[in-house]
Amino acid sequence: MKVAVVGATGMVGQVMLKVLEERKFPVDEMLAVASDRASGRMVRFRGKDIPVVGMEAAVAAKPDIALFSAGGGVSLEWAPRFAEVGCTVIDNSSAWRMDPTKKLVVPEINGQLLEEGDRIIANPNCSTIQMVLALAPLHKAYNVQRVVVSTYQSVTGTGMKAVAQMDNERKGIAGDMAYPFAIDRNVIPRCDVFTDNGYTKEEMKLVHETKKILDPNIRVTATAVRVPVTGGHSEAVNVEFEKEFELDEVRRLLQAAPGILLFDDIAKDEYPMPLVANGRDEVFVGRLRRDETQPRTLNLWIVADNLRKGAATNAVQIAEQVVAFVDRRRLANVRS
């Protein structure tokens, strides 16, 4: 099994390598891929230094699976070229998510949709993944009608430059700015760029991706905010259902749902926080309570490590499902 990580020197790419190693993914040959200016650098995988190669060299090597985390422009240009040589691409950018010919996958929810012919598979946005994972069992039971979500998103979602900006500000050091404002001791009600309707692209990702993954009839409105933390994204979610619910049954559904960890004991001050989720693959859910202003409506608080389940781990979980397809293709080639 030949695996490429495209964007291997970036923040998500580094976590992809770590998750592949932790989950003992069947890698016989690892290709660490980045832009030409990063060629020659080394990354660590399974205790060894792996040289970084450029895109052309990676395509020529014909990997079986490529995990992309190098931005939408790179994905639009290069994912089809990898696919043309028989590689299955799992892309972490927004490039292919809303393409009707591409599947947008959270394995616990809709992994069964994957087919052998899928050559480019889209990984959802980090804030979408954690929200829909918590909503999926509730939608099945009560039929979600409307979602109002406010996100509190880690600087790690922007990348290394944003983390460096926050660290520099805390040390009183001047440096490059990832944001137009200070982020330390501040919150910025803007994630990504603004669109014509006044919402940011991040907010509209929550709208469109939730509809594609769960149900096109769900109405979603979002406010996405950058906060000066690392370790994970947090979300305050208000959900209106078609059917009535009981809180005890909601808890049972969430406890039984794969990938969810219910962390909801206010008597013990137990509720999800980035400090709790950091380095973990579970999506943490807590602060469950009825909205007392209208019927059939639930408030919940959702936190997950945006670099892991929100990006790298979800991509690797998709790759784990793809392995069976790859093995079948390789066996067919041997027989032919």
Q: Are 273 and 227 in contact (CB under 8 A)?
A: no
Q: How many residues does the chain have?
A: 336
Q: Are 253 and 133 in contact (CB under 8 A)?
A: no
- Dihedral, 227, 231, 237, 241 alpha carbons, nearest 10: 160
Closest to 157 (Cα-Cα) out of 292, 307, 282, 279: 307
How large is the angle between the packed helices 247-256 and 126-142, nearest 10 degrees? 120
Catalytic residue among 87, 139, 191, 233: 233
- Amino acid identity of 248? D
233 classed as catalytic: yes
Q: Are 76 and 82 in contact (CB under 8 A)?
A: no
Q: Are 17 and 42 in contact (CB under 8 A)?
A: no
Q: Which residues pair with 221 in a beta bridge?
A: 148
Task: Give Cβ neighbours of residue 117 (< 8 Å, ≥ 6 apart).
Answer: none
Letter string b/e over residues 250-272, b meaning 16 or more CB atoms within 10 A of that residue's CB: beebbeebebbbbbbeeeeeebb
* Whole-angstrom distance, CA of residue 123 vs CA of residue 125: 7
* Whole-angstrom distance, CA of residue 162 vs CA of residue 240: 35
Catalytic residue among 87, 126, 139, 191: 126
Residues noted as catalytic:
126, 233
